[in-house]
Amino acid sequence: MHRDTINHRQELPRLHNLLFNMTKRKPTRKRMDVTRPRNGGEWTEARYTAFVKAALRGALWPPKFVCIKEAFIRNGVNPKTGKKCKLCRCAGCGAIVKQGDLKADHIIPVVGPEGFTTWDNFISRLFVEKEGFQALCGACHEAKTASEREARSGKSAQTPGNSRPKAKKISRTNPLSHKGLARKSASVCRKNAPCTKKIVARFIPRD
């Protein structure tokens, strides 16, 4: 049998599922009041900017890896897997973690509290030398990123004194669950006509 011959027993079910998902997917509606000058009229300026930022951040900038290597302390054993690994020290909390868990974080944020200004400023802050990076563990990196995001958005962290009460979540499939009416209707249904199917409560308006 030739190498390029398609195994119909494996390909036909996959193609059937693909076509079914394509027909099931709802068509996306484009806003007509938004200009789309990029990608042949498909992308807005905001999406184009986000795409360029993601491409630049994904670049393999060597000083990032130098920062991670300099955080090395000794060879050790990963307590989770029991395998040998390189242990490094986090510059934030001082914890000793494996090298794969470290993140090369920019000491000066690439996008400051003032937000995005110019591409020259963004690139100069992104591609800094090794002195502009610090090796942080996952927890420290997430905390620092969250604080920077709050500073950019202008939102202050909520304290117990000024925190808003959380709204009760209402089930989308059963809008009467928060009133206790669904439980009553389900019990009545079980008494009159017991069944194994899923019971769906219906809204009956009062007279």
Instruction: Provide the domain limits for residue 137.
Output: 60-153
Q: How deeply is 125 buried, as exposed, middle or buried, from its count of CB atoms within 10 A (0-12, 13-18, 19+)?
A: middle
Query: How far is 105 from 153, CA to CA, in rounded Å?
Result: 20
The pLDDT of residue 144: 94
| Residue 147, token pair as written in the block | 């604080």
Note whether residue 86 is domain-resident.
yes
Note whether residue 148 is domain-resident.
yes
Of the ranges 13-17, 121-125, 135-139, 188-192, which one carries the lowest mean pLDDT score? 188-192
Query: How far is 157 from 144, CA to CA, in rounded Å?
Result: 13
Predicted TM-score of the model (pTM): 0.57
Note whether residue 115 is domain-resident.
yes
Note whether residue 8 is domain-resident.
no
Please report which confidence band the pLDDT of residue 34 belongs to, taking 50, 70 and 90 as the band edges.
confident
Note whether residue 187 is domain-resident.
no
The total number of residues shown for the chain amounts to 207
Note whether residue 119 is domain-resident.
yes
The pLDDT of residue 105: 95
- pLDDT at residue 135 is higher than 90: yes
Note whether residue 44 is domain-resident.
no
Of the segments 31-40, 84-93, 153-162, which one has the largest average pLDDT value? 84-93
> How many domains does one find in the chain?
1
End-to-end Cα separation, the chain, in angstroms: 73
DSSP state of 59: S
Query: How far is 110 from 126, CA to CA, in rounded Å?
Result: 6
Of the ranges 41-45, 48-52, 63-67, 158-162, which one carries the lowest mean pLDDT score? 158-162
Q: What percent of the chain has pLDDT over 70?
A: 60
Over residues 155-178, mean pLDDT: 46
- pLDDT at residue 72 is higher than 70: yes
